[in-house]
Amino acid sequence: MRPLKLLLALDEPFEPLAEVAVASFLLHQPLAAVAVCTPAGCSLERLRRLCGLFDTPLQQQVIPADSPLQELPPSVRPYFYCIEAMAGVGSGARHLYVDADTLCISPLDELVQLRLDPARPFAVCSHGRPMPDRQLCLELPSAYHYFNAGVILFDPSPGMQPISASQVVQFYLQHQALCRFREQCALNHLLRQKVVFLPNQYNYLSWMRDRQADSPWHDLKANPMAYTLASIRQSLAIVHFSAGALPSRLPADRLEQPDHYWLQLQAALTQATAASDLPRYGDAPFGASADPQ
């Protein structure tokens, strides 16, 4: 079984978010290392301290001055840090790339054990709702094949980059009219024949929340994939606070169990001196009988 390495990409202002995210993964899944791709000048003091509590190596990958990302306008360049992160990994460990606004709430053993074919070395999650415009623009097999790039599991092959940063940047620069969601659209087109799809308990997006029950995407007539939401909520593994829906930005009456856990973990991190000071999702008041919604 290949060891699992957690991979992130961020600029210094997002380190407080990443600290909560990384803590949640360290608490629920053994990791070979935590790798973080950053521009030059990021000290990562919070993450170094956190990984020290778990005796887990922190590896910082600094984006080189001659990176293909330098060809991008400064306003969009940070969105592509994840591309540099994935392009710069070495072979050996299985990598799980996650955005800084994700939260792990259960073990990920099934992702560690998942067999990935060398021809399709990436495992991703669909947005879980039809996106026919993305299908047409990006030449995807169906309206459900547009994946969210906030959680990507992949196996680097020996002697081969999992993805080319130059290729992604060039596709975006030459097809900006097609790339409504920047790097995510470029990845969807370039990896469309190299991915397998995971169920959405591994990337539980904000629109999927129970609090969004009035959304048309929860209606089977508009979105046949909505039938999976109930089972997804019963087996949640990775919650993604997508579309800016961070718990600290929501009114109290909109908070659900994962939101409360994020806030609890965030508060505990300010005083923790050992890994045992940090709560797991199953700890009180988030017991096994608690409704994960």
Q: Which two tokens stand for residue 241?
A: 């606070």
Helix (H, G, I), strand (E, B) or coil at 210: helix
Residue 287, C-beta contacts closer than 8 angstroms, at least 6 positions apart: none
Choice among 33-42, 97-106, 151-160 with the minimum mean pLDDT: 151-160
Distances in Å between the Cα of 76 and the Cα atoms of 104, 108, 169, 222 are 27, 32, 11, 33
Does residue 282 lie in a domain region?
no
Does residue 288 lie in a domain region?
no
Tens digit of each residue's pLDDT (9 = 90 or more) over 135-153? 999 999 999 999 999 999 9
Query: Global pTM?
Result: 0.95
Does residue 98 lie in a domain region?
yes
Confidence of residue 12 (pLDDT cuts 50, 70, 90): very high
d(CA 247, CA 256): 9
CATH number of the domain that 101 lies in? 3.90.550.10
Confidence of residue 161 (pLDDT cuts 50, 70, 90): low
| pLDDT value of position 3 | 86
Does residue 27 lie in a domain region?
yes
Does residue 284 lie in a domain region?
no
d(CA 10, CA 273): 25
Does residue 292 lie in a domain region?
no
- Are the C-beta atoms of residues 28 and 105 closer than 8 Å to each other? yes
Does residue 146 lie in a domain region?
yes
Residue 285, C-beta contacts closer than 8 angstroms, at least 6 positions apart: 260
Domain that holds residue 258: 4-277
131 has a pLDDT exceeding 60:
yes
Q: What is the DSSP letter of 68?
A: G
Number of structural domains in the chain: 1
Does residue 293 lie in a domain region?
no
Residue 44, C-beta contacts closer than 8 angstroms, at least 6 positions apart: 15, 36, 38, 58, 60
